[in-house]
Amino acid sequence: MADESKKNKKSGSKKKVDKKEAGKEQTVSAKKTICDATQQMIEKAAKDGVSTVFDRAESMKPCPIGAEGSCCKNCGMGPCRVPASKKKEEGKEERKTGLCGATAETISARNFIRMVAGGAAAHSDHGRGVAETFLAAAKGEAPGYGIKDEQKLLQVAMDFGIEVEGRSVKAIAIEVGEKALAEFGKQEGELDFVKRAPLKRQEVWKKLGVTPRGIDREIVEIMHRTHIGVDQDYKNLILQGVRASIGDGWGGSMIGTELQDIMFGTPVPVLSKVNLGVLKEDEVNIIIHGHEPLLSEMIVVAAQSAEMVEMAKSKGAKGINLSGMCCTANEILMRHGVPLAGNFLQQETAIVTGVVDAMVVDVQCIMQSIQDVAQCYHTKIITTTPKAKIPGAEHIEFDEHDAMAGAKAIVKAAIENYPNRTKNIDIPKGQTMDLVAGFSHETINYLLGGMFRSSYRPLNDNIINGRIRGVAGVVGCNNARVTHDEGHVAMVKELIKNDVLVLQTGCSAMSCAKAGLLVPEAARKYAGSGLAEVCETVGIPPVIHMGSCVDNSRILIAATAMVKDGGLGDDISDLPVAGAAPEWMSEKAISIGQYFIASGVFTVFGATWPTTGSDILTKHLFEEMEEMLGGMWAFEPNPIKAAKMMIAHIDSKRKALGIDKARERVLFDMEMRRELESA
């Protein structure tokens, strides 16, 4: 820790990126993980002679050229490596370019927005899949799926401009499904959900010409403009990245979240458990891993059926134990309380326990290596979609039109594998933690305001009076180049200690859940006095789990609700809020970060930064972007320093709003509260 703080002398949101910091491993400690369960399984894997991502991260260093964003391989004349232009001694610039003349900033910008395209495509193709199933369900062509949240259906219908008066639920749902699907291929006009953003934000986007048309169109245009010989202006390239990212957050992801809520129910608070200790030695363990809840929702039903439970007993098991991994885990946790086996970097170590009878996967964040690890134990890897196959894995195709049959076939395959377990079994004992999840925007609205006056008013009031300093969204992945879970937990503890309410999604939420931060008692233990007081009054944890990565759209809606409730400015960029992804690794995280910034949120990434090959582009993203959008990127690998940058930003927004004085009123700190209680 001490060495690291020496290395990171600079802080503040406009800090220049140190290329050595950005390209290398960035950890506060030298450990592979702070999660004891994962550590135990890393050691077991070593004993069993099994290679995991943690081992490969040691033996394979990142490509230094690619890590800087300086490698252009978009045509057959390259790949060209184009480092940033340097000043020569006599003051002349030595300008390096690719064979075609592309500069460092053009190349970095192309690579950067191709990451946005990859991430936006992943979220949006998920959203499209949901919309297709939604439409089939509305037409009665997808047995097992239906409409669970009629109120939300009506809300979404109205946002799509659909007439609801005097019409049947079925007719409205069909039109919502058709409208939602049409959003992906819209050639002209604007995405309908863009109108949900604050009016001022919509104007910012209009002025910059970044209001998205069809979701697919913006992604295709990135691929066109980054082809050799098309867009050569880094600022213009980045604008298209901004546009596609808005199409993700306010389009593909938001459609995914909303239609999932309508079909499967809008989440309400649930109590559950997290970590590898949720696996059971005497039951058939099925881990559902990936992202789309279309499959996992059906497996939840199939695994509970008497027929399947009886079958499991006939094989000597006591029952069927379902758990989740990655964002699928978050989906079935939020709606059913199904326990979380772990986050991204735990997918191999879960198999190393020797008790996973089937790991069922769909799309995204699934390591190919799980098949290699599975071969060292008895685990069956089952792929389920034509979009994502793994050589050697069993493929049971899941068809939403006959969902229950597919789900039962998958559960049956797991049950039949139960007798094949070897004696090489070790479940990390006592390695579970309680958590409360299920905080949709609607639930927060209700919890804060009550049934008859649902609103964000109490949140805004407590921000204005200074009990809550601000709100931070801490989201995103694990990254094997940094200590597993450490960045998330350290950052979130620092934030809540300073009275910042934290909203979470994705693997980040699981990291903090494992550390015991997602229970109401965490307020008293870890939060500052103001935040603790509010959390204890309302009965919520200081760290709020809002779902999977597509559910980051819930955070956009929550931020908009704060603006609309009044008293905190008239745009998201006025709010005392900040965002972060301290252990990011996926292209989806870049797209999410970009749409948070496009929505006006200052956002800090840790681990590594992908544009260090161009100082000009990095400056554009880290400084100039704020003038355009009111939000900007920052990079800080030290999670505590990153949290301090977020707090400094929150304080600057409080000052701009004229509510900074409120914080000077000293409320009770924890020490004072304890003294008061013991008196």
Query: Applying CB under 6 A, which residues contact ligand BF8?
Result: 291, 326-327, 344, 364-365, 476-477, 506-507, 548-549, 586, 588-589
| Bridge partner list, 522 | none
> 458 or 476: whose CB is closer to ligand BF8?
476
Nearest to 605 by CA among 487, 512, 505: 487
Q: How near is the Cβ of 479 to ligand BF8 at its closest, in Å?
A: 8
CA distances from 236 to 208, 232, 599, 617 (A): 10, 8, 18, 11
Q: How near is the Cβ of 588 to ligand BF8 at its closest, in Å?
A: 4
Q: How near is the Cβ of 475 to ligand BF8 at its closest, in Å?
A: 7
> 381 or 527: whose CB is closer to ligand BF8?
381
Q: How near is the Cβ of 274 to ligand BF8 at its closest, in Å?
A: 14
> 115 or 589: whose CB is closer to ligand BF8?
589
Q: Look up residue 648 and give its two tokens.
A: 């400094």
Task: Decide: 45 and 368 in contact? Cβ < 8 Å.
Answer: no
- What's the rounded Cα separation, in Å, for the pair 486 and 571? 33
| Bridge partner list, 71 | 81
Q: How near is the Cβ of 248 to ligand BF8 at its closest, in Å?
A: 12
CA distances from 161 to 139, 164, 638 (A): 20, 9, 46
- Exposed/middle/buried for residue 430 (C-beta within 10 Å: 0-12, 13-18, 19+): exposed
Task: Decide: 230 and 224 in contact? Cβ < 8 Å.
Answer: yes
What DSSP character marks residue 49?
A: T
Q: How near is the Cβ of 314 to ligand BF8 at its closest, in Å?
A: 35
- What's the rounded Cα separation, in Å, for the pair 475 and 414? 32
- Half-sphere exposure for 244 (CA within 13 Å, toward CB): 33
Q: How near is the Cβ of 552 to ligand BF8 at its closest, in Å?
A: 9
> 67 or 507: whose CB is closer to ligand BF8?
507
Q: How near is the Cβ of 245 to ligand BF8 at its closest, in Å?
A: 15
Q: Tokens 């885990």 identify what position?
A: 329
> 145 or 344: whose CB is closer to ligand BF8?
344
What DSSP character marks residue 379?
A: P
What DSSP character marks residue 505?
A: -
Q: Tokens 């935040």 identify what position?
A: 531
- Half-sphere exposure for 215 (CA within 13 Å, toward CB): 31
- What's the rounded Cα separation, in Å, for the pair 292 and 378? 26
Q: Tokens 């409120």 identify what position?
A: 662
Q: How near is the Cβ of 279 to ligand BF8 at its closest, in Å?
A: 19
> 289 or 644: whose CB is closer to ligand BF8?
289
CB within 8 A of 250, min separation 6: which ones?
191, 193, 194, 196, 197, 212, 553, 556, 595, 599
How big, in percent rounded to 5, are the helix, strand and coil portions of the chain?
50, 10, 35
Q: How near is the Cβ of 326 to ligand BF8 at its closest, in Å?
A: 3
Q: Look up residue 512 and give its two tokens.
A: 């903090």
> 473 or 569: whose CB is closer to ligand BF8?
473
Q: How near is the Cβ of 482 to ligand BF8 at its closest, in Å?
A: 13
> 118 or 146: whose CB is closer to ligand BF8?
118
Nearest to 491 by CA among 360, 305, 344, 647: 647
Q: How near is the Cβ of 180 to ligand BF8 at its closest, in Å?
A: 20
